[in-house]
A and B are shown apart, each in its own frame.
Chain A
Amino acid sequence: MVDSFPHEETPSTDEFIKGLWRENPVFVQVLGMCPALAVSNTARNALAMGLATLFVLLMSNVVISSLRRFVPKEVRIATYILVIATFVTIVDYVLQAISLDLHKALGAFISLIVVNCLILGRAEAFASKNTAGKSAMDALGMGLGFTAALLSLGAVREILGSGALFGLPLFHDGFQPWVVMILPSGGFFALAGWLLLFNALQERRARLASPAAEPMR
């Protein structure tokens, strides 16, 4: 984690890939749960929330990693919070300008991106020690991983809870929606279901890979 000298590595695709699967923020690290559960009752809300978070994460990671040499370490957390809050405020206004309905549906949870542990976590763990390019890749990967996780939660909840996806009805009229999936408790159940799937997959892979010496990516 020492700052590398002139021949800095080119931002490798590994920084990008890891957030998508191996270190997926929601399913593997279980970070940023509040927005993941709160606004994932439809796929559209989930996608919007994911993209808003991706933007904040990308911008704040880039800014923080370019400022990292100028900010004394005693005040670094305060600076991170200032930078993150700035970009969240910007997203808030831009979203209001783009679509008032969407902004209303997400409500205060846009502002609450500030305290998403994922963003502060990446700032402290990655952006404060790496170059702007690498941090951008890291943020893109993590942000897309977060968006994908949110989208899969939102899709499951919307398909089961209202028999539709992105507002388009999927089933014929006989379908009785599982109302519980739209309710707050449905968020917990859907996330628990995905975590179970991930756990089962990981366990199976560990069992298959155990004889091999090299751990699999």
Chain B
Amino acid sequence: MTDDPLWSVFVNACLINNFVLAYFLGICPFLGVSGKLATAGRMGGAVTFVMLVSSICAYGINHALIALDAPYLRLISFIAVIASTVQLVEMFIKKVSPALFRALGIFLPLITTNCAILGLALFQTNKGYDFAQCIAYALGAGAGFSLALVLMAGLREKLELARIPDVVRGTALSLLLAGILSISFMGFAGLGG
């Protein structure tokens, strides 16, 4: 399993097993901020960035825990380290590049409790990826998340103008759209061959 080529890892995380549409990870931001295309793009960027950082951290922690022979601390240290890393990154960006900080806005703190981040850390550990594969996996998952978010936002912007029964408006409509998107993403299965 660990000899998958990097492109296959990337395609797998991005399209075939899209985090949002196949694993249902990160549904809350997916439904919450997919109203506008511009915000969706920025959120996607922020999530990809945090995924990359936390994937590297999780790789390090996992090796430390294996060395210590303490697998039972994995979950608690993953979540603690990811949460504090996000905080550190937030402070760092605020200091170094206020423009970027404003662009990411309120999304950074929200990301801490995004299940996609923790999910990524757990899956890459379960699959036993090496360092380069972890990076490819994180980038793929981030790209897949951004793709789903942007597609969704585009669809919802179009639907703003459509005439829809009141009962369907809101979350129910978004869920129906997500279901249809999820069916279409099934067409990508088999690419990782």
Contact = CB atoms under 8 A, between A and B. Distances in A.
Interface string A81-116: 110011011001100000000000000100110111
B175 A82 contact: no
A92 B73 CA distance: 12
A37 B117 CA distance: 17
B76 A86 contact: yes
**Dominant SS at the A interface?**
helix
Contacts of A77: 83
B67 interface: no
Interface string B160-193: 0000001110111101101110110010000000
B28 A114 contact: no
A203 B76 CA distance: 43
Contacts of A52: none
Interface residues of A, number: 40
Contacts of B23: 38, 184
Interface string B15-55: 00000011111111001000000000000000000000000
Contact of A34 (B26, B72, B76): B26
B179 A188 contact: yes
A209 interface: no
B80 interface: yes
Given A33-B27, A108-B119, A187-B24, A196 B167 contact: yes
Contacts of A192: 172-173, 175-176, 179
A60 to B, nearest CB: 13
Given A92-B75, A184-B24, A191 B175 contact: yes
Given A38-B23, A89-B75, A93-B72, A114 B171 contact: no
Contacts of B119: 108, 112
A4 interface: no
Contact of A89 (B31, B72, B83, B173): B72
B118 A115 contact: yes
Given A188-B175, A203-B167, A112 B122 contact: yes
Nearest to B174: A192
A199 interface: yes
Contacts of A120: 113
A92 to B, nearest CB: 7
A184 B113 contact: no
Interface in A100-137: 108, 111-112, 114-117, 120
A170 interface: no
Contacts of A71: none
Contacts of A199: 167-168, 170, 172
B75 A88 contact: yes
B83 A81 contact: yes
B175 A195 contact: yes
B79 A108 contact: no
5 contacts: A37-B27, A93-B72, A183-B182, A184-B22, A187-B179
Instruction: For the complex of A and B, list the 4 residue pairs with the smallest distance between their C-beta atoms, beginning with the closest.
Output: A188-B179, A192-B175, A185-B182, A38-B24
Interface of A: 30-31, 33-35, 37-38, 77-78, 81-82, 85-86, 88-89, 92-93, 108, 111-112, 114-117, 120, 180, 183-189, 191-192, 195-196, 199-200, 203
